[in-house]
Amino acid sequence: MKKIVLFVILLLAKTLHSQSANQDLLIDQNEKDYLRNFVFPLHSYEPEIGFKEDSLVFNRFFSNVKIIGLGEASHGSSEIFKIKDKLTRYILQRNHVGIFSIEASMPNSFLLNEYIINGNKTGKEYLMNIKSWIYQTDEILSMIEWMKQTNDKNTQKIRFTGFDNTTYIGSMVQLKILLDKYKIPIDDLLVLSQNLSDFNKLPKNQLLEKKRIQSESLTRLNKIKAFSSSISDEDDKSWFLQHLTLLNQYLYNSYLDRNRYMAENILWLKNKYPESVFVLWAHNEHIKKTGEETGKFLKEKLKDDYINCGTLFYEGFHSVVDLKDENVKPINLEKNSKNSLEELLNSFDIPIFILDLKNIKKENNKLAQKLLTKINYRTVGAAVHKKDFKSGNISEDFDYIIFIKKSTASKLLSKY
| Together in a domain, 176 and 291 | no
Task: Report if residue 15 sits inside a domain.
Answer: no
166: CB partners within 8 A, 6+ apart: 105, 250, 253, 258
Task: Report if residue 154 sits inside a domain.
Answer: yes
pLDDT (average), residues 202-211: 92
Task: Report if residue 325 sits inside a domain.
Answer: yes
| Together in a domain, 187 and 276 | no
Which residues form the domain of 330? 40-166+262-407
Last residue of a domain, one of 207, 232, 252: 252
Q: Given a cut of 80, is residue 387 above it in pLDDT?
A: no
Task: Report if residue 27 sits inside a domain.
Answer: no
Instruction: Report the C-alpha gap between 314 and 319 in whole angstroms.
Output: 15
Is residue 312 within 8 Å of 401, Cβ to Cβ?
yes
| Together in a domain, 356 and 381 | yes
Task: Report if residue 23 sits inside a domain.
Answer: no
Last residue of a domain, one of 228, 252, 276: 252
> What are the tens digits of pLDDT across the range 349-386?
999 999 999 999 999 999 999 999 999 999 887 887 77
pLDDT band at 104 (very low <50, low <70, confident <90, very high): very high
Looking up residue 99, the CATH number of its domain turns out to be 3.40.1660.10
> Who wins on pLDDT, 204 or 152?
152
Residue 116 has a pLDDT of 96
| Together in a domain, 153 and 187 | no
| Together in a domain, 151 and 190 | no
387: CB partners within 8 A, 6+ apart: none
| Together in a domain, 155 and 267 | yes
Q: Given a cut of 60, is residue 7 above it in pLDDT?
A: no
> What are the tens digits of pLDDT across the range 12-36?
444 433 333 333 458 999 999 999 9
Q: Any idea which of 242-246, 282-286, 411-415 has the lowest mean pLDDT?
A: 411-415
Q: Given a cut of 50, is residue 232 above it in pLDDT?
A: yes
Among residues 351, 344, 394, the alpha carbon closest in space to that of 374 is found at: 394
Task: Report if residue 2 sits inside a domain.
Answer: no
Average pLDDT, the chain: 92
| Together in a domain, 47 and 162 | yes
Q: Which residues of 312-343 are buried (b: 16+ CB within 10 A; e: fewer)?
A: bbbebbbbbbeeeeeebebeebeebbeebbbb
Q: Domain total for the chain?
A: 2
Q: Model pTM?
A: 0.92
> What are the tens digits of pLDDT across the range 36-46?
999 999 999 99
| Together in a domain, 109 and 239 | no
Instruction: Report the C-alpha gap between 322 and 319 in whole angstroms.
Output: 9
Q: Given a cut of 90, is residue 171 above it in pLDDT?
A: yes
| Together in a domain, 145 and 267 | yes
| Together in a domain, 232 and 289 | no
| Together in a domain, 344 and 401 | yes
Residue 326 has a pLDDT of 82
Q: In Å, how far are 33, 174, 220, 228, 236 from 232, measured between CA atoms?
A: 63, 16, 22, 9, 8
Q: In Å, how far are 160, 190, 324, 379, 382 from 180, measured between CA atoms?
A: 25, 13, 43, 45, 37
> Who wins on pLDDT, 4 or 8?
4
Task: Report if residue 152 sits inside a domain.
Answer: yes
Last residue of a domain, one of 252, 278, 308: 252
pLDDT (average), residues 111-118: 92
Task: Report if residue 9 sits inside a domain.
Answer: no
| Together in a domain, 183 and 87 | no
